[in-house]
Amino acid sequence: MNNNIDIKKLAKETLTLEANAIQQIGERIDSNFINVVNLILELKGRVILTGIGKSAIIAQKIVATLNSTGTPAIFMHAADAIHGDLGIVQQDDLLIAISKSGNTPEIKVLIPFLKQMGNPLVAIVGNLSSFLATNADYILDTTVEREACTNNLAPTTSTTAQLAMGDALAVCLQESRQFSDQDFAKYHPGGALGKQLYLKVQDLSEQNGKPVVYVNSSVRELIITITKFRLGATVVLENEAIVGIITDGDIRRMLEKHEDTKSLTAQDIMSKNPKVIEKKELAIDALQLMRENNISQLIVVDEGKYDGIIHIQDLLKEGII
């Protein structure tokens, strides 16, 4: 171990080198890039990405990003392709090959077969005079001056440039398709991001009971109700209209103020004008309302009528927070 290394300085130099590389490839965005975006938008098939080594890993990440933003994509490993996986490629597909050198043995073997199939071939490549570049129909230039690796060997800056180019493609395609947050939710139903976009208040409140007392209910009745439903609160109704809410905090404050609670009723303890939310609203909006008012529960209503309670713990369980 070399204790003389300035780790902080080296880390900053690495990040600066990679940031500069991304900026430089951004300056090379040209008609090739625009044509590739338009070609993919009109594509009837899928985008198939291929590569070898670290470039293969980058290809897999780009595939994931494309799929999640509305562009059907699939990964085909360059080595496996020349041993049977070429059957993945269909007539209406577009191919993107990723390689820094553009001259790896697997790429040089694979490209002639891809050309024979007649599919459009896009190269994300860091060597414009390479075998891959000279055989591609479209070139996305990811040439970098050097790797961040101190030996200028390990793929670092080059793979960062490839990844950034893939992200640029995905974002342009996403915007061109007018891919909305609701579309995004369809592809991310199980994740926290997706839940923020589709999970409704009623999806959570329906799992809870509907604690309720009335304005003349006794302290004993309301404590039993709060304890039974374990939501830390109960709604107070008068003629089936919501007039207040009583929380655990209200009970504690009542006990601090009154030694004798026998004569008290719900209307003496409740907080008036409680915050409510329509059941069809998004759960993330309920969280925002709770945060704005520093509360842990919200009364859920259906067109103004009491429908249940949503608790901040419900949002925690779903990973919304």
With cut-offs at 50, 70 and 90, classify the pLDDT of residue 215: very high
Is residue 69 pLDDT above 60, yes or no?
Answer: yes
Which residue has tokens 């109960």?
A: 234
The dihedral sign for the CA sequence 14, 19, 20, 21 = positive
Listed residue (112, 116, 70, 114) closest to 96, CA to CA: 114
* pLDDT tens-digit readout, 15-57: 999 999 999 999 999 999 999 999 999 999 999 999 999 999 9
CA pair distance 179, 264, nearest whole angstrom: 57
**What residues pair up with 309 in beta bridges, in sequence order?**
299
Task: Identify the structural domains of the chain with CATH numbers, from first to last.
Answer: 7-179 (3.40.50.10490), 198-317 (3.10.580.10)
Token pair for residue 220? 């004993």
Burial of 281 from C-beta contacts in 10 A (0-12 / 13-18 / 19+): middle
| Ramachandran angles phi, psi of 306, nearest 5° | -55, 130
pLDDT at position 189 is 57
- Residue 24: its pLDDT value, please? 96
Q: Tell me, what amino acid is at 286?
A: A
Place of tokens 């890039």: 33
Rounded Cα distance, 114 and 127, in Å? 19
End-to-end CA distance of the chain: 42
Given the structure tokens 């927070």, which residue do they identify? Answer: 321
Render pLDDT for 262-310 as a digit per residue (tens, 0 to 9). 899 999 999 999 999 999 999 999 999 999 999 999 999 999 999 999 9
* pTM of the entire predicted model: 0.66
Q: How far apart are CA 174 and CA 172, in angstroms?
A: 5
When pLDDT is cut at 50, 70 and 90, the band that residue 163 belongs to is: very high
> For the ranges 131-140, 191-200, 235-244, which has the lowest average pLDDT?
191-200
Answer yes or no: is pLDDT of 118 > 80.
Answer: yes
Q: What confidence tier does 236 reach under pLDDT thresholds 50, 70, 90?
A: very high
**Residue found by looking up tokens 């799929």 in the block:** 67
Q: Is 77 annotated as a binding residue?
A: yes
| pLDDT for the residue 138 | 98
- Give the pLDDT of residue 2: 61
217-242: average pLDDT? 95
**pLDDT > 70? residue 68:** yes
As a whole number, the mean pLDDT across the chain is: 92
Rounded alpha-carbon distances, angstroms, from residue 176 to 30, 101, 193: 17, 31, 22
CB neighbour list of residue 158: distance below 8 Å, 6 or more residues apart? 21, 100, 126, 142, 144, 147
**Cβ-contact 195, 187 below 8 angstroms:** no
